[in-house]
Structure 1
């Protein structure tokens, strides 16, 4: 028959108005059939049984009534908020710092200059505000006299490429006191959200501040002029100092009305992270909408979402994040403000930045040193070069990325310190979750004290993550033993440094933190190359050098080498750094004669030093040792009694050699060898042996034996497989040569014959085979007298007549004497002399 509107009232009291279709006959035999549109108006329906049916509006009324009974008005020190149950609106009224507001604000500017490119979007947004009732025409009867004009300006949001109208509340804020002790901190909220796991979604309030009304009697302080007309802002404006606190309080109040929703949601300003393992995002969204807060559609983080300025997405292993803001280009005019703005874009609140964090901090320190105010132009050309280099490196390989979801109990804290900065890296199950660095002041405190400060700062970072089990990784031996002895209480901390009391105070602070928070703490020593915090304490070396070559003057004078050495020593540079090369000699007893004997053998082999640093043993204090030193022209310096640190290098070498000896179970000589070939840095050249010798010392058990391969360009007289004659070692003309086969070519002068190296001058190619021993007559075969004679080959001479035989027989004795005759000069055995006889 037609359509109309009907008023439906439930038995429990709530009533709604909905559209209805009127028919002549009852549909399906019922007086009234409700469709989905009607159910939506009633906010859903729950059917538990045939006689237990409830609509969503009934439950919401109950919840609203309960909420009203719990907390309808919120009263804080700097503002008050009231919730209207029927209108479902929140209204705020701030409190003046002096108790009463100013009679009138002094601002007279209605609008700041708006860029022409943003003008159209800026005006369209303001027109939408007027259409939505956020800006209402000013009426003196309704709003009272005008007490202030808020200047309008346009702000371009670079990430979203949007233009937003913003008001300049600076004068109005000067009359308000804000208590920010309970304000949310972005870094803390990020840590909380990353502990929520992988099943999370993100909700965002739509125009969050503009959903909160401002009390009517305060609207006269928020008047604006747009297109020649004056309007009153009836909502909470973005930029007012109390706005974030008001929004936080309203959100926390609404969420607290449902315990399950409150445990699932974690708000930060207008963003709400929902743990869907506790409650779904739709439930949280419906709960907020029932109490006057409208949200945008929820985003599942696993499918990709922007979370607090970072792009977060899901993979098989979990959730990962990276930077979601564009890196700005190098500004034409460089001021302190632009440098700080650029460094804020690079690091800001990102949890992991690696080398970029210390680089940005150093750039800001350099900009502070080059300017006196925020708008001063930076004329330091080297600073511009540093910024350009940093931007290129970030665009090439951005270190701001990592694992988002944090779970596990294997927590490691890597700490390090340098003369420039302190660094700390927090790692969970092998993934770096956060890093931090702190630039050091220009001070002369010892590096061990800075390493200890890094441990304490890193421990504070771990406590912020609420970690109870932690392993500290440090590359400082001293700090390792300090902390280990402090935690275990096994031994008293030993230090005689000038900062002894500062060191003990820090160690006591460390112990108090561990006891107060109930931490299970362990510490391990790692090398600098393995320390993940090392990169947070360094900048490129070229950044720390002078900007340009420094001018210097000099004079040409005649000076001897002794004077040069004296000046070098007295200026505090006694040498160019110790090589730490160790030489070991065994002595029978610890008397002066044995000591001087071994020292003299070392001096004869390697040369005598200019100075000897020894302890106060009697063997070094004797007159015989003094004579020995005077003979070699060596100065002797004795360390202080009972102070082994006076000869620290030797003491540490002695300790290290004994440690190697105990662990390997080898000889002392091999332990000293291992000490000498052990690198002190990242390259083999830092080993003590490689600093002494001009060749690289081969490592026992590591460097393999490699046969030298001959170049194809070498000319060889023989080839592998050639049959050759081998000249007899006696080189006598009647000695028979041996026959062999070339098995390997070593060099053009050296070949191996049947596995024995032979010189090519002792070899000849075989052109015709020799007669075998079977072919020789019995008289021609040589007699074997000794075992060594088997190597001799006797070649029979030609047959002679009978006449000659008699002649030979007669002179045989004389011939034998001539062949075996030795020189007539008197031969004396060689006398071996000691070096003292020379």
Structure 2
């Protein structure tokens, strides 16, 4: 570097040509002028480009498939080898489908910390299950030549596990994406769905789309597979360690203070941690919640009347007709009352 052009060689990979505009011979001659030798040209149909296998469908469009072999696993895997398998499964493919949340879920729940640590039997069984399913039904496939346009449709969905986004251009799926939620995320499902919409809009902008619409509810929910994993994976196994915990009032208050949800939602989140917790008055004693939507507070029953005049007074605000009045009542025998309009 810095000593001239002889210190390094030039290299160009995958030159895509339109033979209606230029011939192969012209490109080869042009490359030779710069000392570049070209291999024999290949047609896109039945060939490969940018790491994708291409094949022409019945309608004349080019479809891509996985360009590498499905990886095989050894009897014992460490964390580094596990992540390497996932890189080969997902790679740079624009459409991966259910593989995205499946791989992310297994990586997060792998029973290891360091890169050289061996993964447990459960993780090995899960990745074997994924590889068998990929061999039978590989989700890596789609249209290779997507229409260049400014219009598109963003499909969004969310669950308690992940958010999913599918980008559709010209009635063809161009890209999908998925993101697992945080383990300690206690956000309402509406917040997760809004997050999915935000990710979808950002993805569309990266593709240069300016006119887009968001479709979330339809008879064909395209991003649904991006937000789920197999139900059997979510069932605790015998290898898991069971931990018992009990929440006191301060623990319940801490969970409520995450997002200041109402009574029913707070109770739902609390019982996820400790099912024995009864319905407490956490929201009723929260100053922030009371400032927005005050809940009625019950007073202890007692006798307000007294035997002496002006010994005890009651004061309240009373709406009457079109006005509001402050009222003061003597609790003595006379029940003398004063009203003053506010």
Q: Same fold by TM-score, threshold 0.5 exceeded?
A: yes
Partner of 2:202: 460
Residue among 135, 138, 142 paired with 1:402: 142
| 4+ residue segments displaced more than 4 Å | 549-553
Partner of 2:302: none
Partner of 1:390: 130
**Residues 1:413 and 2:151 aligned together:** no
**Residues 1:338 and 2:28 aligned together:** no
Q: Which secondary structure state, in structure 2, belongs to the residue aligned with residue 271 of structure 1?
A: coil
**Residues 1:441 and 2:182 aligned together:** yes
Partner of 1:373: 114
How far apart in 1 are the matches of 2:228 and 2:69? 26
How far apart in 2 are the matches of 1:362 and 1:289? 50
Partner of 1:538: 228
How far apart in 2 are the matches of 1:458 and 1:333? 38
**Residues 1:431 and 2:121 aligned together:** no
Asked if structure 1 preserves the Cα contact closer than 8 Å seen for 2:162 and 2:226, the reply is yes
Asked if structure 2 preserves the Cα contact closer than 8 Å seen for 1:331 and 1:338, the reply is no
**Residues 1:422 and 2:163 aligned together:** yes
**Residues 1:91 and 2:6 aligned together:** yes
Task: Provide Cα deviations, 1:492-517, integer angstroms capped at 9, x if missing partner.
Answer: xxxxxxxxxxxxxxxxxxxxxxxxxx
**Residues 1:290 and 2:205 aligned together:** no
Asked if structure 2 preserves the Cα contact closer than 8 Å seen for 1:358 and 1:538, the reply is yes
How far apart in 1 are the matches of 2:191 and 2:23? 51
Asked if structure 2 preserves the Cα contact closer than 8 Å seen for 1:339 and 1:363, the reply is no
Asked if structure 1 preserves the Cα contact closer than 8 Å seen for 2:71 and 2:89, the reply is no
Asked if structure 2 preserves the Cα contact closer than 8 Å seen for 1:426 and 1:432, the reply is yes
How far apart in 1 are the matches of 2:61 and 2:209? 21
Q: Where does 1:169-180 land on structure 2 (aligned, <5 Å)? A: none
Q: Which secondary structure state, in structure 2, belongs to the residue aligned with residue 300 of structure 1?
A: coil
How far apart in 2 are the matches of 1:464 and 1:277? 30
Task: Provide Cα deviations, 1:239-283, integer angstroms capped at 9, x if missing partner.
Answer: xxxxxxxx4xxx6xxxxxxxxxxxxxxxxx522222334433332
Task: Provide Cα deviations, 1:41-96, integer angstroms capped at 9, x if missing partner.
Answer: xxxxxxxxxxxxxxxxxxxxxxxxxxxxxxxxxxxxxx4474xxxxxxx4237xxx
Structure 2: tracts of 5 or more residues without a match: 245-274, 281-295, 297-342
Q: Which secondary structure state, in structure 2, belongs to the residue aligned with residue 445 of structure 1?
A: coil
Q: 1:572 to 1:277 in 2, by over 3 A?
A: farther
Q: CA deviation at 1:403?
A: 1.1
Q: Where does 1:262-661 land on structure 2 (aligned, <5 Å)? A: 270-302=13-45, 304-315=46-57, 316-367=59-110, 370-378=111-119, 380-407=120-147, 409=149, 411-442=152-183, 443-474=185-216, 526-527=217-218, 530-548=220-238, 571-572=278-279
Q: Where does 1:758-769 land on structure 2 (aligned, <5 Å)? A: none
How far apart in 1 are the matches of 2:278 and 2:220? 36
Q: 1:290 to 1:463 in 2, by over 3 A?
A: same
Q: 1:361 to 1:282 in 2, by over 3 A?
A: farther
How far apart in 1 are the matches of 2:51 and 2:78? 25
Q: 1:552 to 1:438 in 2, by over 3 A?
A: closer
Q: CA deviation at 1:298?
A: 1.3
Q: CA deviation at 1:449?
A: 2.0
Q: CA deviation at 1:552?
A: 9.7
How far apart in 1 are the matches of 2:208 and 2:2? 34
Partner of 2:307: none
Structure 1: tracts of 5 or more residues without a match: 1-78, 83-89, 94-211, 213-246, 252-268, 475-525, 554-567, 574-615, 617-838
Asked if structure 1 preserves the Cα contact closer than 8 Å seen for 2:161 and 2:227, the reply is yes
How far apart in 1 are the matches of 2:179 and 2:91? 14
Asked if structure 2 preserves the Cα contact closer than 8 Å seen for 1:426 and 1:435, the reply is yes
Task: Provide Cα deviations, 1:90-148, integer angstroms capped at 9, x if missing partner.
Answer: 4237xxxxxxxxxxxxxxxxxxxxxxxxxxxxxxxxxxxxxxxxxxxxxxxxxxxxxxx
Task: Provide Cα deviations, 1:164-216, integer angstroms capped at 9, x if missing partner.
Answer: xxxxxxxxxxxxxxxxxxxxxxxxxxxxxxxxxxxxxxxxxxxxxxxx1xxxx
Q: 1:296 to 1:81 in 2, by over 3 A?
A: farther
Partner of 2:325: none
Q: 1:552 to 1:310 in 2, by over 3 A?
A: closer
Q: CA deviation at 1:371?
A: 1.7
How far apart in 2 are the matches of 1:321 and 1:81? 43
Q: Which secondary structure state, in structure 1, belongs to the residue aligned with residue 95 of structure 2?
A: coil
How far apart in 1 are the matches of 2:3 and 2:207? 33
- Looking at both structures, which has the greater relative contact order when contacts are Cα pairs under 8 Å and sequence separation is at least 6? 2
Q: CA deviation at 1:571?
A: 2.3
How far apart in 1 are the matches of 2:109 and 2:242? 23
Q: CA deviation at 1:366?
A: 2.0
Q: Which secondary structure state, in structure 1, belongs to the residue aligned with residue 157 of structure 2?
A: strand
Partner of 1:133: none
How far apart in 2 are the matches of 1:542 and 1:381? 15
How far apart in 2 are the matches of 1:538 and 1:398? 17
TM-score (norm 1): 0.28
How far apart in 2 are the matches of 1:552 and 1:365? 19
Which structure has the larger Rg over C-alpha atoms?
1
Instruction: Report the number of matched residues.
Output: 248
How far apart in 2 are the matches of 1:364 and 1:290? 49
Q: Where does 1:248-267 land on structure 2 (aligned, <5 Å)? A: none
- Cα root mean square deviation, aligned: 2.7
Task: Provide Cα deviations, 1:364-383, integer angstroms capped at 9, x if missing partner.
Answer: 2223xx222111111x2221
Q: Which secondary structure state, in structure 1, belongs to the residue aligned with residue 163 of structure 2?
A: strand
Q: Which secondary structure state, in structure 1, belongs to the residue aligned with residue 190 of structure 2?
A: helix
